[in-house]
Amino acid sequence: MSDLNLRDVRKSFGSFEVIKGVNLDIASREFVVFVGPSGCGKSTLLRMIAGLEDISSGDISIGGKRVNDLDPSKRGIAMVFQSYALYPHLTVRENMGFALRFAGVEKDAITAQVDGVAKTLGLNALMERYPKELSGGQRQRVAIGRAIVRKPEVFLFDEPLSNLDAELRVHMRIELARLHKTLATTVIYVTHDQVEAMTLADKIVVMREGVVAQVGSPLDVYDNPDNMFVAGFIGSPKINFVKGVVDSASKTKLKVTLPSYNNSAFDFPITASALKVGDSVVIGLRPQYFGTGGKQKFNLTVELVEHLGGESFVYAGNGSGELLTIATQSARGIKSGEKFEARFDASKALLFTEAGERVR
Amino acid sequence: MNRRLHRIMIYTMLSIAAFVSVFPFLWLIVGATNISPDILSGKATPGHALFDNFVKLTQQVDLVQLFYNSTKIAVIATALTLVVASLAGYAFEIFRSQLSDRIFASLLAMLSIPFAALMIPLFVIMAKLHLINTHTAVIIPTIASIFIIFYFRQATKSFPAELRDAARVDGLKEWQIFWHIYVPVMRSTYAAATIIIFMANWNAYLWPLIVLQTNEMKTITLAVASLLSAYVPDYGVVMVATTLATLPTLFIFFVLQKQFVQGLLGSVK
Ligand SMILES: Nc1ncnc2c1ncn2[C@@H]1O[C@H](COP(=O)(O)OP(=O)(O)OP(=O)(O)O)[C@@H](O)[C@H]1O
Ligand SMILES: [Mg+2]
């Protein structure tokens, strides 16, 4: 049983607080992804779980046992580092068996265990090579193999794929997902690549400046972001934010006008809200929400089109200076300078307060 | 054509540089085969006096004893310096704190104190410890070499922090990380340091001259110097002695040459 619980976990480097009270419950066998902008403390939090970094306050428990003061090697975790951190003076075989050797496991048992893992990862032909004689992808595989050999209850990955080229990254991503299925262990995975986050995760933890901004399944986080930060961070291309003003408010309906779009008006069904007439709000419209259907429309002028083949991104504005990003599959003929009618359904739009909290 | 000219120029320059650096050594070896008057008159061709010079040398000094003393001092001092300085350099870099940085800065400041100023207090300490005229007295002051500590601290900057983390996750204790990861990974740094320390100790003159007082304790370097300070030095004999005294450092250098160059360029790639 390898449930993992963080209770008000904090970390300061000197007087600088990096992790500002994180609470998190991770179930056994869950694939959890930490995402967030650079410097928000993902690696630090992961290293605290690993035991590589002391905890300033709070509690971390694994499998119900408090591990705050436990050595990294005794926490039942294994870690794969961004730089792979293979021991350069040891062969692939020695690298993979290293932890077992220091745990006092017998030579024959180590060989058997290492060979077994090597087979599942297709490393058999490389066993006597040194890390410098391997390609990036092979090193990555060895690093993962070294982690598996230890039979941990929790795998920790810190941006393991960021040093690989795009093609290999997709390949390793799929392989990781498969490995997670076969090994059936808990995985905590740090990345700032949201494709990795969306595709691999059972549960995404979005972090911002040392706090958890939202926890949820990938689609939940995408469809129902708690705040503007999460809405802006998850989803590609980035969500469009348009400023609005509350025009009238009733118990069930909120009418919002958009000053930069000729005061065009929207009705949002709501249940309860503290918003008053005259309050500023922000409307979030994902590029994918636009189409040829929908009751609402913006009349725009195309500034730039990016054709990705299947899909195109249209950047268009109405002269106010703001550009909207629109993802569409039928924009092949569109050229910059042309008129463009962006239709959408107001019921899909997200509504935030000026401070960035989600209203609807 | 242009490229060829370019190459010719490069080779000419390199040949001149090589000649300038090798010439003293060649002259030393040629000198070892000539008699003293020939050397003084500038004879630059090999002579036939090598064997005679060697015999004369063995009559004047106990070569075996000298080599034994020099080797013993240099080997022990090198080994101890490597251990102490690499541990210190590693610790100064890895376990950094404001305090350790201050201590290190004051160590560096001590580099600027000339040895001549330390000589007399050192001598008094050794005398109080009853270590005058022992090899221990020669070795002890050299072990905590600030320069070598500095060298290891700089080299440690290139030691990847994630290797330490990986080793900690793999269950290694601090001293195991040092011994099983740091030392092998940094072996070219150790090789370069070995050469530097060994040469410094082998060629050490001033301090051994002060603390070593009897002939049977002296090193080959001291012996060569005392041959030179005779009323009428026999330069042929001096040349043979010098040539012999150079051989061990040359040997060490050739053995560790590849790692030496790597170590100076930065050890972890
Ligand atoms: N040893 C340290 N001493 C002082 N500050 C540190 C230390 N390690 C990290 N920090 C600071 O803590 C913050 C979080 O760092 P962390 O490495 O966890 O970010 P991250 O989310 O992993 O970013 P990235 O996506 O760039 O890897 C940063 O502001 C960083 O400068
Ligand atoms: Mg990081």
Tell me the pLDDT tens digit for each residue of B89-148. 999 999 999 999 999 999 999 989 998 899 999 999 999 999 999 999 999 999 999 999
CB A6 within 8 A of CB A60: yes
Res B267 pLDDT > 60: no
The H-or-E segment that residue A8 falls in is strand A4-13
d(CA A288, CA A264): 21
In this predicted model, what pLDDT tens digit does every residue of A309-327 receive, in sequence order? 888 899 998 887 888 999 9
What three-state secondary structure class fits A286?
coil
Does A31 share its domain with A128? yes
Beta strands of A272-338 (E only): which ranges? 280-285, 296-307, 312-317, 324-328
B165 at A interface, C-beta within 8 A:
yes
Query: How high is the pLDDT of residue B198?
Result: 95
Position A14 confidence tier, pLDDT thresholds 50, 70, 90: confident
Q: Cite the DSSP H helix spans in chain A.
A: 42-50, 92-102, 107-121, 136-149, 166-183, 194-200, 218-223, 228-233
Same domain, A223 and A249: no
Mean pLDDT of chain A: 90
**What is the pLDDT, as a whole number, of residue B266?**
60
**pLDDT tier at A58, thresholds 50, 70, 90:** very high
Domain containing A270 — which CATH number?
A: 2.40.50.140
* Mean pLDDT for the stretch of residues A194-204: 93
User: In angstroms, rounded to a whole number, what is the distance separating the alpha carbons of residues B185 and B182?
Assistant: 5
Per-residue model confidence (pLDDT) at position A296: 82
Average pLDDT of the segment spanning A123-149? 93
Same domain as A200, residue A144: yes
Which residues, other chains included, contact A36 with Cβ-Cβ below 8 Å and sequence gap of 6+? A42, A192, A206, A207, A208, A213, A233
- CB within 8 Å: B170 and A99: yes
CB B171 within 8 A of CB B105: no
A321/A187 same-domain check: no
Q: Which residue of A has its CA nearest to B186?
A: A89
Q: Collapse the DSSP code of A324 into the 3-class scheme (helix H, G, I; strand E, B; otherwise coil) and give the result.
A: strand
Contacts of residue A148, Cβ cutoff 8 Å, sequence gap at least 6: A78, A117, A120, A121, A179, A183
pLDDT at res. B1 = 65
Domain count, chain A: 2
CB-CB: which of B163, B170, B268 is closest to A102? B170
Residues of A in contact with B259 (CB under 8 A): none
Pairing of strands A186-190, A154-158: parallel
How many other C-beta atoms are found inside a 10 Å radius of the C-beta of residue A208?
Answer: 16
pLDDT at A345: 84
Section A61-70 average pLDDT: 91
* Calpha distance B171→A264 (Å, rounded): 64
Last residue of a domain, one of A186, A210, A231: A231
Boundary-marking domain end, from A212, A231, A250: A231
Among the three residues A199, A231, A263, which one is the final residue of a domain in this structure? A231
pLDDT tens digits for range B201-241 = 999 999 999 999 999 999 999 999 998 888 888 888 999 99
> Whose CA is closest to atom 17 on ligand 1?
A43
Same domain, residue pair A163 and A272: no
In chain A, what percentage of residues exceed pLDDT 70? 99
pTM: 0.85
Non-local CB neighbours of A239 within 8 Å, separated by 6+ positions: A231, A232, A284, A285, A286, A287, A350
The answer to whether residues A248 and A226 belong to one domain is: no
Give the residue whose CA is nearest to atom 30 of ligand 1: A39
What pLDDT was estimated at residue B143? 95
Residue B3: predicted pLDDT: 86
Residues with CB under 6 A from ligand 1: A 13, 18, 36, 38-44, 192
Q: Is B56 on the interface with A (CB under 8 A)?
A: no
- Distance, CA of A313 to CA of A114 (rounded, Å): 48
Contact at 8 Å (CB) between B85 and B148?
yes
Among A114-123, A275-284, B254-263, which is the least confidently predicted range? B254-263
Atom of ligand 1 nearest to the CA of A45: 18
Chain A residues with CB-CB distance to B188 below 8 A: none
pLDDT recorded at residue B100: 95
Q: Which residue has the tokens 């001259």?
A: B209
Give the minimum alpha-carbon distance from B110 to chain A in angstroms, rounded to a whole number.
30
Structure tokens at A170: 């997709």
**Structural domain containing residue A45:** 4-231
Give the residue-averaged pLDDT of A244-266.
Answer: 83
Neighbour count for residue A164 (Cβ, 10 Å): 18
The alpha carbon of A308 and the centre of ligand 2 are apart by a number of angstroms equal to: 30
> For residue range B141-186, what is the model confidence (pLDDT) as tens digits?
999 999 999 999 999 999 999 999 999 999 999 999 999 999 999 9
Tokens standing for A142? 């060895």
Q: Is A360 a member of any domain? A: no
**CB contacts, 8 Å: B160 with chain A:** 83, 85
Domain at B51-265, CATH homologous superfamily? MetI-like (1.10.3720.10)
The predicted structure's pLDDT at residue A18: 95
| Same domain membership, residue A166 and residue A23 | yes
Per-residue pLDDT, averaged over A62-89, amounts to 92
Note whether A138 and A67 are same-domain residues.
yes
From edge to edge, which strands make up the β-sheet containing A280-285? Answer: A264-269, A253-258, A240-249, A280-285, A350-353
Q: Which residue has the higher pLDDT, A335 or A80?
A: A80
State yes or no: pLDDT of B75 exceeds 90: yes
pLDDT at residue A218 above 60? yes
Cβ separation of A89 and B187 shorter than 8 Å? yes
Whether residues A158 and A34 share a domain: the answer is yes
Q: If we measure between CA atoms, which residue out of B192, B209, B174 comes closest to residue B256?
A: B192
A269 and A197 share one domain: no
Q: Does a structural domain hold residue A359?
A: no
B185 close contact with A: CB closer than 8 A: yes
The domain segmentation of chain B, as residue ranges, is 51-265
Taking an 8 Å cut-off on Cβ atoms, the answer to whether A77 and B163 are in contact is no
Q: Tell me whether residues A150 and B170 touch, CB distance under 8 A.
A: yes
Has residue A64 been placed in a domain? yes
To the nearest 10°, report the CA torsion of A273, A276, A277, A282: -60
Q: Which of B165, B200, B162, B194 is nearest to B262 (CA)?
A: B194
Test site for ligand 1: of A18, A48, A193, most ligand atoms within 8 A of the Cβ: A18
Residue whose Cα lies nearest atom 25 of ligand 1: it is: A38
CA-nearest residue, atom 16 of ligand 1: A41
Q: Quote the minimal CA–CA distance from B98 to chain A in Å.
A: 12
Considering only residues B151 and B3, tell me which one the structure prediction assigns the higher pLDDT: B151
A358 in a domain, yes or no? Answer: no
Q: How far is CA B93 from the centre of its chain?
A: 24
pLDDT given at position B106: 95
Q: Give yes or no: residues A18 and A155 share one domain.
A: yes
H or E element at residue B238: helix B235-265
**Are A115 and A258 members of one domain?**
no
Contact call for B171 and A102, based on CB within 8 A: yes
* Closest Cα in chain A, distance from residue B193 (Å): 19
B46-65 pLDDT, tens digit per residue, is 888 889 889 989 999 999 99
Written as one string, the DSSP assignment of B14-48 is HHHHHHHHHHHHHHHHHHHTS-HHHHHTT--S--S
At B269, the pLDDT band (50, 70, 90 cuts) reads very low
Residue B39 confidence (pLDDT) above 80: yes
**0.95 surpassed by complex ipTM:** no
Q: How confident is residue A272, by pLDDT bands cut at 50, 70 and 90?
A: low
For the residues B66-74, what does the mean pLDDT come to? 96
State the Cα–Cα distance between residues A210 and A214, nearest whole angstrom: 12
Asked whether the bond before A237 is cis by omega within 30 degrees of 0, the reply is: yes
> Where residue A168 sits, what CATH number does that domain have?
3.40.50.300
